[in-house]
């Protein structure tokens, strides 16, 4: 029945398409209401994207977002709402940077150590939420939000020069000290800049994500638990252990999302390290429907909006237009996916009914003949 | 049914109520025209009183205070429903809840009632009471649409019968001149399926042994409650043991303890000689436990996943679904095709979602899946609930077939005919204990029904005349598996003759319905 596959693909694309169209239209309405040209910002943004340096920026940003969104998606597939990706990512990046700056090892080992520390810290931080959920029944939504705040305060305290931080001479910024060059990850030099090495690893992880979910027993258990916890439990999945495992993996991947930037460019964690990556990751995972390819395009879109809108204010438009648009995308995504899902389900039921009726008719005719 | 109640829109055709043609966009429209529906699964809020449940959503009719109470009592009296407006719904039994549902519909001014499989959850005595209520309604000039797959009930309560098969009307019948057999033939287009098993295949090899099983639950207010206590039984290879009981008396918990979804607080469960009391569910399933859950949507299927993924569910670690931790989608798909073919699952393909199949076909898929792993013990909870007659017969056949090959089956069902027909041994569960046992060759649904309400315990014996009649029947059939054969039977077995005899007297107060002719004749 290839037909149903094609149907599913079409419906799968209809959701995001509908959401994006609605979001663009609504943004135009906002622009109109504020007395601006409703189309010009878009053309400006597209023109902006023609510069190669902007393209490199977009791609690198995509890598970071891709990892954050994968972390969120792992939770989503299991019906877990890991809102704490942001805290996990920041704390992991910071502690990995601290460890990286304090040790010197031969090249690949140094990088590997930093990456491992990041994964461990991320997993540990999300593991707290997983532990609370399995032992005390605390909603992971609440605990991860709280853990985000705690992470913010913890980082602010740890980065004080009295503790782990360093204040570079003649600067107000606080950093964790620079990682030695052996811990820098080489990038891919192209026209317009350098694509971080870890960006490519990020995309490779998408393949791993697909493989684990769709081709392993573990992935099947995870998806089954997400689709129906009661059915999974009856089928022999230990739901509690699954919650904890999924949270740990999600946190570990969240920990990785700081790596492209840390290993490829800043080589230190500072106060100016980007925040909110985890929240953008939620948007992207939603828009990409937890599908590794979908997430890639969603991450690309959001990065595009963000990077190309940066120079909008030169032309008298606020760059927050892109932020408004992101928000509108989230809302329309949620609404349109549910609409498309229900429509799809109903349509399939109808089709199955029709086909069965047709089969029955055929049988009857054969009998008659 | 959904169309009549405005939940779905028809593609073609018309509905005429009282001579005027109507179209329904929603259930509200249907209610406004006087059509009311009593659902198979009750739609009541447990933590509200009867009064509150009835007025919920109908506040505009008679307010929520004394006027509403007066109206409820009026209706209750007029139709003999005996509803107490201030009782909490959670304290009511199933039959009472059903009466509240009916009252709810009448309160909204319904003149036409649709009852969807209303007897599925009732014991025979309660069914009789329901039928009395329905006759009252009829006498008052109301129209009742009674949907059921139990032929005897339809024949005894209906004035006019329409048979629907696979979405088309296949015929109408007059209950006064139609025999159950004719009706059944109309329904399935062939012979009446019967759960009756002919020869006994019980062996002396114990397959599942349960001893002293105990399960406690802690209420929200901290009180520890025994959900299961002192459960002892043995199921042998080739034996079907049936458990009768009003729902909510510990059957679900027993299954969960056997499946490993709940850890027992005491006692030993052993399967084929191996102690599995505290093993995780997956290990038990790998060890040969098959499971047909009572709620297939919650426990048996991933509704939005395609059929072939549902085929993997529960057996992800076993061939052909996976090899060394990796799934083998090709093999799983091939095997799904086989199940679809061999178990006659009506579907256009294996990539459609489970949700788009009918209940009967979903169940056939589950049965096929569980049987495909050569289980040693099959736990079948309400295996034919909400399943059309054709599928029902197939499922019974498959259970019988597997039993012949040495499968042990634990059958839990609310359909007493099914229990009596399929089982080799019968137990009755009441308040978390196995209180009575019976020989399916001689027991009647009525006797079983009164034991289910706790009125009779121990070994259920028929009255002397019945026994004599049954004995000749049994001799002819040469079926022998008696309930008391099982080791570890309830301790009270011996002292039970007195209480056992009270069973027939209990229900003899009610007029015997000609609902089940096979049993009626023997009495």
DSSP labels, A123-151:
HHHHHHHHHHHHHH---HHHHHHHHHHHH
B331 close contact with A: CB closer than 8 A: no
Range in A31-35, A309-313, B430-434, B485-489 the model is least confident about: B485-489
Whether residues B316 and A217 touch (CB distance < 8 A) is answered with yes
| pLDDT tens, residue by residue, B135-157 | 888 888 888 888 876 777 888 88
pLDDT band at A368 (very low <50, low <70, confident <90, very high): low
Token pair, residue B477, equals 């059939």
pLDDT band at B197 (very low <50, low <70, confident <90, very high): low
pLDDT band at A364 (very low <50, low <70, confident <90, very high): low
pLDDT band at B472 (very low <50, low <70, confident <90, very high): low
Helix axes A107-136, A239-256, angle to 10 degrees: 140
A286 with A23: CB under 8 angstroms? no
> Three-state DSSP class for B318?
coil
Arithmetic mean of pLDDT over chain B: 79
Residue in A211, A229, A235 to test binding to B, most B beta-carbons within 10 Å: A235
| Of residues B7 and B348, more confidently modeled | B348
pLDDT, mean of residues A328-355: 83
Residue of B166, B313, B327 with shortest CB distance to A231: B313
Token pair, residue B108, equals 């909204």
Whether residues B302 and A1 touch (CB distance < 8 A) is answered with no
pLDDT of amino acid A36: 83
A254 with A71: CB under 8 angstroms? yes
Interface of A with B (CB under 8 A): 1, 4-5, 214-221, 223-224, 227-228, 230-238, 345, 348-349, 351-352, 355-357, 359-360
Please give, rounded to a whole number of angstroms, the shortest distance from the CA of A1 to a CA of chain B: 6
Asked if the model's pLDDT at residue A198 lies above 60, the reply is yes
Residues of chain A contacting B315 with CB distance shorter than 8 Å: 235
Asked if the model's pLDDT at residue A334 lies above 90, the reply is no
**CB neighbours (10 Å) of residue B246?**
22
- In 3D space, the residue among A113, A86, A70 whose CA is nearest the CA of residue A278 turns out to be A86
| Of residues B470 and B272, more confidently modeled | B272
| Of residues B181 and A87, more confidently modeled | A87
Per the listing, tokens 């498959």 go with B398
pLDDT of amino acid B195: 60
Residue of A4, A227, A231 with shortest CB distance to B299: A231
pLDDT, mean of residues B25-42: 81
pLDDT of amino acid A366: 62
What is the percentage of chain B residues whose pLDDT exceeds 90? 14
Please tell me which of A25-34, A145-154, B339-348 the model is most confident about, judged by mean pLDDT.
Answer: A145-154
Asked if the model's pLDDT at residue A67 lies above 80, the reply is yes
Residue of B259, B261, B302 with shortest CB distance to A227: B302
Asked if the model's pLDDT at residue A64 lies above 90, the reply is yes
Whether residues A352 and B166 touch (CB distance < 8 A) is answered with no
Asked if the model's pLDDT at residue B463 lies above 90, the reply is no
pLDDT band at B491 (very low <50, low <70, confident <90, very high): very low
Residues of chain A contacting B317 with CB distance shorter than 8 Å: 217
What angle (nearest 5°) sits at the alpha carbon of residue A105, between those of residues A102 and A107? 120
B353 close contact with A: CB closer than 8 A: yes
Please give, rounded to a whole number of angstroms, the shortest distance from the CA of B186 to a CA of chain A: 17
**CB neighbours (10 Å) of residue B191?**
10
The CATH code belonging to domain B15-147 is 3.40.50.300
pLDDT of amino acid B521: 35
Q: What is the DSSP letter of A166?
A: B
Residues B456 and B499: their CA atoms lie apart, in Å, by: 6
- In 3D space, the residue among B315, B312, B310 whose CA is nearest the CA of residue B281 turns out to be B315
Residues of chain B contacting A216 with CB distance shorter than 8 Å: 325-327
Give yes or no for a cis peptide into B320 (omega within 30° of 0): yes
pLDDT of amino acid A88: 96
B447 with B441: CB under 8 angstroms? no
Token pair, residue A4, equals 């149903």
Residues A3 and B355: their CA atoms lie apart, in Å, by: 18
- In 3D space, the residue among B238, B257, B156, B258 whose CA is nearest the CA of residue B197 turns out to be B238
Asked if the model's pLDDT at residue A136 lies above 60, the reply is yes
Q: Computed from CA positions of residues A10, A16, A19, A23, in that sequence, does the dihedral angle turn out positive or negative?
A: negative
**CB neighbours (10 Å) of residue B362?**
25
What is the percentage of chain A residues whose pLDDT exceeds 70? 96
Q: What is the DSSP letter of B263?
A: -
Residues B166 and A360: their CA atoms lie apart, in Å, by: 10
Q: What is the DSSP letter of B300?
A: I
Q: Which residues contact B419 (CB under 8 A, 6 or more apart)?
A: B242, B243, B244, B411, B413, B426, B440, B448
Q: Which residues contact A91 (CB under 8 A, 6 or more apart)?
A: A121, A122, A125, A151, A154, A155
Range in A123-137, A244-258, B283-297 the model is least confident about: B283-297
Residues B86 and B99: their CA atoms lie apart, in Å, by: 14
What angle (nearest 5°) sits at the alpha carbon of residue B409, between those of residues B314 and A227? 20
Per the listing, tokens 């609902």 go with B515
Asked if the model's pLDDT at residue B221 lies above 50, the reply is yes
pLDDT, mean of residues A185-190: 88
User: Which residue in chain B has the smallest CA separation from A224?
Assistant: B302
> Three-state DSSP class for B415?
coil
pLDDT, mean of residues B496-503: 36
Strands B206-218, B224-236: parallel, antiparallel or unpaired by DSSP? antiparallel
Cα-based distances in Å from A358 to A362, A364, B326:
6, 10, 38
- In 3D space, the residue among B321, B324, B355 whose CA is nearest the CA of residue B336 turns out to be B321
B352 close contact with A: CB closer than 8 A: yes
B355 close contact with A: CB closer than 8 A: yes
Asked if the model's pLDDT at residue B337 lies above 60, the reply is yes
pLDDT of amino acid B56: 84
Q: What is the DSSP letter of A316?
A: T
pLDDT of amino acid A80: 92
| Of residues B220 and B447, more confidently modeled | B447
| Of residues B463 and B64, more confidently modeled | B64
Residues B502 and B505: their CA atoms lie apart, in Å, by: 5
- In 3D space, the residue among B229, B213, B215, B206 whose CA is nearest the CA of residue B435 turns out to be B229
Q: What fold, for A60-312?
A: ABC transporter involved in vitamin B12 uptake, BtuC (1.10.3470)
Residues A51 and A240: their CA atoms lie apart, in Å, by: 50
pLDDT of amino acid A85: 96
pLDDT band at A369 (very low <50, low <70, confident <90, very high): low
Question: HSE (CB half, 13 Å, CA atoms) of B30?
Answer: 21
Range in B81-90, B102-111, B187-196 the model is least confident about: B187-196
Residues B208 and B288: their CA atoms lie apart, in Å, by: 11
pLDDT, mean of residues A301-309: 91
Q: Which residues contact A146 (CB under 8 A, 6 or more apart)?
A: none
Domain B206-288+375-521 superfamily per CATH: P-loop containing nucleotide triphosphate hydrolases (3.40.50.300)
**Domain range list for chain B:** 15-147, 206-288+375-521, 300-373
Residues of chain B contacting A348 with CB distance shorter than 8 Å: 352-353, 356
B314 close contact with A: CB closer than 8 A: yes
Backbone angles phi, psi at B186, to 5 degrees: -60, -40
Asked if the model's pLDDT at residue B217 lies above 90, the reply is no
Token pair, residue B160, equals 């006019």
pLDDT band at B511 (very low <50, low <70, confident <90, very high): very low
Residues of chain B contacting A349 with CB distance shorter than 8 Å: 355-356
pLDDT of amino acid A347: 81
Q: Computed from CA positions of residues A211, A63, A73, A339, in that sequence, does the dihedral angle turn out positive or negative?
A: negative
Asked if the model's pLDDT at residue B1 lies above 80, the reply is no
pLDDT band at B196 (very low <50, low <70, confident <90, very high): low
Asked if the model's pLDDT at residue B226 lies above 90, the reply is no
Range in A2-16, A58-72, B385-399, B429-443 the model is least confident about: A2-16
pLDDT of amino acid A297: 93
**Domain range list for chain A:** 60-312
pLDDT of amino acid A342: 84
**CB neighbours (10 Å) of residue B98?**
24
Residues of chain B contacting A5 with CB distance shorter than 8 Å: 351
User: Which residue in chain B has the smallest CA separation from A221?
Assistant: B316
B1 with B17: CB under 8 angstroms? no
pLDDT of amino acid B490: 37
pLDDT, mean of residues B451-473: 61
pLDDT, mean of residues A339-346: 83
pLDDT band at A65 (very low <50, low <70, confident <90, very high): very high
Whether residues A215 and B285 touch (CB distance < 8 A) is answered with no
- ipTM (interface predicted TM): 0.82
Asked if the model's pLDDT at residue A4 lies above 70, the reply is no
User: Which residue in chain B has the smallest CA separation from A225?
Assistant: B302
What is the percentage of chain B residues whose pLDDT exceeds 70? 84
Please give, rounded to a whole number of angstroms, the shortest distance from the CA of B280 to a CA of chain A: 7
């Amino acid at each position: 029945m290839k037909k149903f596959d094609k149907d599913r693909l079409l419906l799968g694309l209809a959701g995001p398409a509908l959401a994006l169209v609605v979001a663009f239209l609504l943004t135009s309405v906002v622009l109109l209401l504020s007395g601006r040209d409703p189309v010009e910002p878009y053309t400006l943004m597209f023109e902006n994207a023609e510069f190669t340096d902007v393209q490199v920026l977009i791609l690198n940003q995509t890598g970071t977002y891709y990892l954050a969104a994968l972390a969120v998606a792992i939770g989503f597939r299991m019906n877990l709402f890991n809102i704490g990706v942001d805290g996990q990512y920041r704390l992991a990046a910071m502690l990995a940077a601290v460890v990286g700056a304090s040790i010197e090892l031969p090249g690949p080992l140094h990088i590997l150590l930093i990456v491992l520390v990041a994964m461990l810290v991320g997993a540990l931080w999300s593991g707290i939420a997983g532990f609370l959920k399995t032992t005390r029944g605390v909603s992971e939504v609440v605990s991860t939000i709280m853990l985000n705040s705690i992470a913010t305060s913890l980082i602010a305290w740890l980065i004080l020069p009295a503790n782990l931080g360093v204040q570079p001479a003649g600067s107000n910024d606080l950093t964790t000290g620079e990682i030695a060059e052996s811990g820098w990850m080489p990038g891919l030099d192209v026209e317009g800049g350098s694509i971080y090495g870890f960006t490519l690893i990020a995309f490779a992880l998408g393949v791993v994500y697909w493989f684990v979910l769709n081709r392993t027993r573990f992935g099947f258990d995870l998806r089954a638990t997400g689709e129906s916890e009661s059915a999974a439990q009856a089928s022999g999945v230990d739901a509690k252990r699954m919650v904890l495992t999924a949270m740990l993996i999600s946190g570990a991947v969240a920990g990785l999302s700081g790596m492209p930037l840390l290993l490829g460019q800043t080589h230190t964690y500072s106060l100016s390290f980007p925040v909110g990556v985890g929240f953008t990751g939620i948007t992207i995972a939603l828009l990409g429907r937890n599908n590794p390819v979908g997430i890639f395009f969603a991450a690309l879109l959001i990065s595009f909006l963000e990077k190309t809108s940066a120079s909008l204010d030169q032309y008298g438009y606020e760059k927050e237009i892109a932020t408004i648009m992101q928000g509108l995308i989230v809302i329309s995504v949620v609404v349109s996916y549910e609409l498309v899902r229900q429509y799809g389900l109903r349509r399939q039921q109808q089709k199955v009914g029709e086909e069965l009726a047709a089969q029955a008719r055929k049988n009857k005719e054969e009998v008659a003949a | 049914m959904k169309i009549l109640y405005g939940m779905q829109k028809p593609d073609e055709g018309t509905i005429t109520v009282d001579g005027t043609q109507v179209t329904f966009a929603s259930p509200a429209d249907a209610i406004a025209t006087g059509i009311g529906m009593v659902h198979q699964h009750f739609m009541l809020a447990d933590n509200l009183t009867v009064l509150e449940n009835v007025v919920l959503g109908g506040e505009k009719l008679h307010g929520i205070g004394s006027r509403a109470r007066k109206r409820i009592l009026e209706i209750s009296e007029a139709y003999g429903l005996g509803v107490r407006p201030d009782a909490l719904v959670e304290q009511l039994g199933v039959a009472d809840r059903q009466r509240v549902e009916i009252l709810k519909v009448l309160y909204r001014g319904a003149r036409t009632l649709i009852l969807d499989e209303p007897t599925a959850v009732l014991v025979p005595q309660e069914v009789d009471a329901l039928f009395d209520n329905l006759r009252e309604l009829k006498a008052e000039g109301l129209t009742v649409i009674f949907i059921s797959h139990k032929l005897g009930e339809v024949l005894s309560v209906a004035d006019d019968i329409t048979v629907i098969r696979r979405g088309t009307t296949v015929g109408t019948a007059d209950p006064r001149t139609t025999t159950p057999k004719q009706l059944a033939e109309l329904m399935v287009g062939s012979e009446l399926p019967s759960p009756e098993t002919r020869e006994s295949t019980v062996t002396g090899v114990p397959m599942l042994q349960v001893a002293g099983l105990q399960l406690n639950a802690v209420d929200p207010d901290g009180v520890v409650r025994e959900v299961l206590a002192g459960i002892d039984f043995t199921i042998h290879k080739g034996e079907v043991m049936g458990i009768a009981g009003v729902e909510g008396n510990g059957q679900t918990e027993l299954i969960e303890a056997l499946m490993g979804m709940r850890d027992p607080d005491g006692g030993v469960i052993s399967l084929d000689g191996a102690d599995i009391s505290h093993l995780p569910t997956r290990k038990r399933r790998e060890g040969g436990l098959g499971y047909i859950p009572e709620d297939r949507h919650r426990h048996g299927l991933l509704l939005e996943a395609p059929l072939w993924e549902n085929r993997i569910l529960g057996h992800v670690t076993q061939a052909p679904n996976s090899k060394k931790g990796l799934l083998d989608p090709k093999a799983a798909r091939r095997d799904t095709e086989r199940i679809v073919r061999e178990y006659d699952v009506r579907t256009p393909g294996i990539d459609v979602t489970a949700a788009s199949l009918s209940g009967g076909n979903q169940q056939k898929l589950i049965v096929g899946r569980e049987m495909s792993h050569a289980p040693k013990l099959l736990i079948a909870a309400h295996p034919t609930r909400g399943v059309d007659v054709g599928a029902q017969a197939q499922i019974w056949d498959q259970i019988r077939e597997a039993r012949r090959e040495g499968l042990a089956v634990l059958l839990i069902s609310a359909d007493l005919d099914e229990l009596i027909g399929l089982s080799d041994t019968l137990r009755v569960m009441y308040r978390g204990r196995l209180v009575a046992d019976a020989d399916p060759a001689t027991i009647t649904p009525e006797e079983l029904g009164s034991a289910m309400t706790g009125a009779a315990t121990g070994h259920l014996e028929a009255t002397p005349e019945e026994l004599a009649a049954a004995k000749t029947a049994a001799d002819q059939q040469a079926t022998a598996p008696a309930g008391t054969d099982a080791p570890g039977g309830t301790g009270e077995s011996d002292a039970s003759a007195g209480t056992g005899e009270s069973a027939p007297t209990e229900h003899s107060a009610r007029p015997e319905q000609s609902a089940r002719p096979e049993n009626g004749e023997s009495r």
